[in-house]
Structure 1
Amino acid sequence: MTRRITRTLLILTSVLLVLAVVPLAVSVTARERVAFRDSQRAATRVIAAAAEEHLSDRKPVTALRQELDAAARAGDCAAVYDDSARLVASAPCTAAQGREAEELVEKVLAGHEPEPPENEGRLLTSEPAGEVRSPSGAVVLARSAAPLDARIAAIWGWSAAIGAVGLAASVLLSVRLGRWVSRPLSELDVSAQRLGEGALDERAEVGDGPPEVRRLASTFNTMAARMETLVHGHRAVIADVSHQLRTPLAALRLRLDVLAACAEAGTAAELASAQEEITRLSRLVDGLLAVARAEQATPRPVAVRVDEVVAERVAAWAPVAEERGVRLTASRGAALSAGLGPGHLEQILDNLIANAVDAVPEGGHVTLDHQAVDGLARVRVRDDGPGMSAGTKAVAFRRFGNPEARGSGLGLAIVHRLVTSNGGTARLEDTPGGGLTVVLDLPPRPAGRPGSATR
């Protein structure tokens, strides 16, 4: 934003300077040229008056010579011609003589007012000696244009300096204005990012910037405070529900255990069925609480070593898989990191491995592999079980979406929520030869968090 404001003000200032300074410099330059020529013509007329006294009144050449010498001392060069265009007198220089000077004399003697030309850095002017219609002669005066050029150069130099100072002042003001506006917005953006990453106590500064930005920061703080209250309230409700549901279920299960120990064969079988239902209900409650926690999660991503977590979870689940006659392996891959909330990858892999081990029949195989693809960390969990139909895969990530699920039907919903809340994606594919493959594309390692690597 600072660059856009600076660029806009620079363009506006440049346009205003061009429209104001350039015409003013052109006008002053034209005025200097006119003043220079008027001064030169006035000096020429003085010499022409002395020349008329000599040519018409036949007075001595003394007064004319004095004017010619005065012109020479002033740096001018003058020459006097009679009515036949013959040179009568001149200063000790030849700049007022030659073909151009003779052409001026002829035009003046013919009663015209010629445009003074410039010859080798000198301006030539010619004035009649006597009346314009019937002059008794003509005077040509050559004056160096260097003083005029110096004044014009000074005019344009000062104009350029004024423009440069104006541009510099515009840059300073625009940069200060841009920072005054953009710095609070940048800080507000950082606060919004941190709030999105899970820092619920994050608040923005309200004292800087324009009134609109301060109001926006105040509104953001109000929103953040309400969100913090809401999230903490939901977490408290989840904790209370967890405690209130698990306690009576555990007590009911213990009572059923006591009754089954003293019951007859037929009654014991019925109580065993009830115990299985209690166990299933406990798993369902645990799954619902896990989904609720996942939906309320606001992760703050840290760098997670994917290869190490995969190896650890495979080692942890290997005894369970071996007990059920399932082979669980992990393909070796290069060191790979991803940006996830603490503990999320472990929870994701636990749910996927549990689902795969339950789905695969005895003698089946479950394998995990990982690799870097287009800047993402890709993890695949493959099994050679019965797989899923296209319709089942379309709703598998919903809660209780798979009616054929052996468990609670919440494992994939938990996985999908945890992956997407961290900015990743999850999808289901068919395993070549039969089975199901879960493909996870996890976001890259977060930048600017030194020392945040975790397992």
Structure 2
Amino acid sequence: MLSHLALMVVVLSCLEIPLGYLYVQAGRERGTGVVKHEAHLLAGSANQILKAGRPDQLPRLAYVESQKIRGNVAIVDQAGQLLVGSRWMLGEDWHDLHHQQEIKTALQARRSTAMRRSRIEGIEVLHIAVPIDAGGAVRITIPKAALETGADAVWLLLAAVALMVMFTVVVVVLALSRWITRPIRRLENAMNLLATGHLLKLASAISGPREVRRLAETFNETALRLQRMLASQGSFAANASHELRTPLTALRLRLENLEPDIAYHAHGNLHAALAETDRLARMVERLLTMAKLAEHTTAREPTHLAPVIQERARTWGPLAENRGVRLLVEEEGAGRVWAVPGAVEQIIDNLLSNALRVSPPGGTLTVECRLPRAGRSGENPTTVALHVIDQGPGMSEMHRQRAFDRFWRAPGAPNDGTGLGLSLVRQLAHACGGEVTLAAAPGGGTDAVVVLQSAEQPAVEHDSRPWWPLSRLWRGRSLSRHRSG
């Protein structure tokens, strides 16, 4: 709308301003012609009176003409001396008329018309002198504004036309803008719904420009294809959850049943096969979890960190004790955070599982919460940082950056890992509206930091991200396998 209005202002200015000036100039020339005609008529009447020898009629003639033209009228003799004059305007000096250029030109050159412009008391006037055949000349003095009668009306008319054109442009542009932007807004709403998981809300493609209609049709095709893909993925996840668990469980049972029938020196290979079976089962569980995370949507809810940390510490405490690792919990900064149901528990479980795997006997594993200080640069007081700190060998900067890649494992890492734990933690943190990073812990080891939005701040926004409320069965099975191992 602004671009159209600016264009119309330029066009109207280029058209109406020159047109107005031309009309005013034409009106001025017409007024000057009328005054010249009056001067010639006055000169003819004065010539008849002088030829008739009745100069006493000149004052009457000058007075009537002065009232008619609303200006000053002067009649001079052959020497330029004033014979008679009538004033409509004050301020003009008639004592030196013979020195005025228009009078001298009319008397000496005997031109039919002589003109000059000047100012009288700040008013611009026009002097027109015409010679008299019997001798002498007449001069008419009239304000220049009197020649431009109707100029204000012309400018007002042009302004009214411009306003009418601008109003018409506004109406047309509004209608055109609505016709263009309405389907775009509907397409935007459909895309927002698609982002939140509502795949059946398609965009209307029956109105608007052809390009917008094609865009809406392409979006609808994409949404339908995505719906079919996600439905196929969901069906695969549901079927694989059953089809893969059952043969893995049967395989483990068969391996355990083989233990009495194999030689003692082959038990190491059997235990390795059992460990690989457990690792494959955990890998399948985490792959299915990550697939479900990308499929479903759940709103975030305020979650109390302290009870969750205590409950997971009690669960992992016996396993840490068996490995000779001290599990230390500091929850002074724990409060409420925004999280999808069950996500914080799984984040802590995966981080503790990784930390215990690399913690040496006699080491300390710390789980703590920290509230950033409002005055410390780079920290947001509306977040809560959850730290899981181990005293393991640590990781290089390059390894910390690659640790969140799927199936990536650091060189020299224990063989029972799947390479999916940290990738799952990152997806869970993103689903909660947070972030996870790895840093070097003071004194060696790794500090896994999960930053979540604090639910204590009423202004914190929280939207929904893909998530699936997972069963915790796999955690219990994983812990039992750790204990059995």
Question: How many residues are paired up?
Answer: 437
Aligned residue among 400, 405, 409 for 1:393? 400
2:482 aligned partner? none
Sort the Cα spacing of 1:127 and 1:391 in 2 relative to 1 into closer, same or farther, 3 A.
Answer: closer
- The answer to whether the aligner puts 1:281 opposite 2:277 as a matched pair is yes
Whether the 8 Å contact between 2:286 and 2:424 is mirrored in structure 1 is: yes
Instruction: State the AA in 2 paired with 1:198.
Output: G
Deviation at 1:64, TM superposition (A): 7.2
2:120 aligned partner? 119
1:194 aligned partner? 193
Whether the 8 Å contact between 1:79 and 1:96 is mirrored in structure 2 is: no
Question: What is the distance in 2 between the residues matched to 1:233 and 1:186?
Answer: 30
Question: What is the distance in 1 between the residues matched to 2:236 and 2:313?
Answer: 35
SS of 2:2's partner is helix
Question: What is the distance in 2 between the residues matched to 1:201 and 1:153?
Answer: 64
- The answer to whether the aligner puts 1:213 opposite 2:212 as a matched pair is yes
SS of 1:327's partner is strand
Deviation at 1:283, TM superposition (A): 4.3
Post-superposition CA distance 1:411-433 (Å, at most 9, x none): 11222344457775533211001
How does 1:42-81 map onto structure 2 within 5 Å? 42-56=37-51, 58-59=53-54, 61-62=56-57, 65-66=60-61, 68-73=63-68, 75-81=70-76
Whether the 8 Å contact between 2:308 and 2:344 is mirrored in structure 1 is: no
Question: What is the distance in 2 between the residues matched to 1:143 and 1:270?
Answer: 130
How does 1:7-406 map onto structure 2 within 5 Å? 7-56=2-51, 58-59=53-54, 61-62=56-57, 65-66=60-61, 68-73=63-68, 75-91=70-86, 93=88, 95=90, 97-98=92-93, 103=100, 104-111=102-109, 113-120=114-121, 121=123, 123-130=125-132, 136-148=135-147, 151-254=150-253, 263=260, 274=270, 277-278=273-274, 280-295=276-291, 297-298=294-295, 300=297, 302-305=299-302, 308=304, 310-323=305-318, 324-325=320-321, 326-333=326-333, 335=335, 337-338=337-338, 343-363=342-362, 364-371=364-371, 373-374=379-380, 378-390=385-397, 392-402=399-409, 404-405=413-414, 406=416
Whether the 8 Å contact between 1:428 and 1:438 is mirrored in structure 2 is: yes
Whether the 8 Å contact between 1:300 and 1:341 is mirrored in structure 2 is: no
Sort the Cα spacing of 1:161 and 1:443 in 2 relative to 1 into closer, same or farther, 3 A.
Answer: farther
Question: What is the distance in 1 between the residues matched to 2:418 and 2:89?
Answer: 116
Post-superposition CA distance 1:242-295 (Å, at most 9, x none): 2111112333445566676xx57x679978974774464244234334235425
SS of 2:392's partner is coil
Post-superposition CA distance 1:325-354 (Å, at most 9, x none): 23241433375645x655444433331122
How does 1:409-428 map onto structure 2 within 5 Å? 409-419=419-429, 425-428=435-438
Instruction: State the AA in 2 paired with 1:15.
Output: V
Question: What is the distance in 1 between the residues matched to 2:462 and 2:80?
Answer: 91
Question: What is the distance in 2 between the residues matched to 1:376 and 1:318?
Answer: 22
Deviation at 1:85, TM superposition (A): 1.4
Report the TM-score, using the length of structure 2 for normalisation. Answer: 0.77
Deviation at 1:12, TM superposition (A): 0.9
Question: What is the distance in 2 between the residues matched to 1:242 and 1:400?
Answer: 20
Question: What is the distance in 1 between the residues matched to 2:5 and 2:193?
Answer: 35
Cα RMSD of the aligned pairs, angstroms, is 3.6
Q: Percent identity?
A: 26
Instruction: State the AA in 2 paired with 1:89.
Output: V
Deviation at 1:235, TM superposition (A): 1.8
- The answer to whether the aligner puts 1:439 opposite 2:449 as a matched pair is yes
Deviation at 1:355, TM superposition (A): 1.9
Whether the 8 Å contact between 1:348 and 1:418 is mirrored in structure 2 is: yes
SS of 1:222's partner is helix
Post-superposition CA distance 1:124-167 (Å, at most 9, x none): 33232335xxx722212233455555522222222223223333
Sort the Cα spacing of 1:377 and 1:145 in 2 relative to 1 into closer, same or farther, 3 A.
Answer: farther
Deviation at 1:240, TM superposition (A): 1.0
Report the TM-score, using the length of structure 1 for normalisation. Answer: 0.81
Instruction: State the AA in 2 paired with 1:320.
Output: T
1:3 aligned partner? none
Sort the Cα spacing of 1:416 and 1:94 in 2 relative to 1 into closer, same or farther, 3 A.
Answer: closer
Sort the Cα spacing of 1:288 and 1:136 in 2 relative to 1 into closer, same or farther, 3 A.
Answer: farther
Post-superposition CA distance 1:68-126 (Å, at most 9, x none): 41541553432211111122223364659525865132332232623343535463332
Sort the Cα spacing of 1:315 and 1:298 in 2 relative to 1 into closer, same or farther, 3 A.
Answer: same
Range with bigger deviation, 418-427 or 231-240: 418-427
Deviation at 1:223, TM superposition (A): 0.4
Instruction: State the AA in 1 paired with 2:442.
Output: P
Instruction: State the AA in 2 paired with 1:387.
Output: G
Deviation at 1:213, TM superposition (A): 0.4
Whether the 8 Å contact between 1:299 and 1:341 is mirrored in structure 2 is: no
Question: What is the distance in 2 between the residues matched to 1:327 and 1:231?
Answer: 41
Whether the 8 Å contact between 1:196 and 1:298 is mirrored in structure 2 is: no
Deviation at 1:50, TM superposition (A): 0.8
Sort the Cα spacing of 1:376 and 1:164 in 2 relative to 1 into closer, same or farther, 3 A.
Answer: farther
- Stretches of structure 1 lacking an aligned partner (at least 5 in a row): 1-5
Post-superposition CA distance 1:353-395 (Å, at most 9, x none): 2222343345522223244535766443222233234564343
Range with bigger deviation, 91-100 or 33-42: 91-100
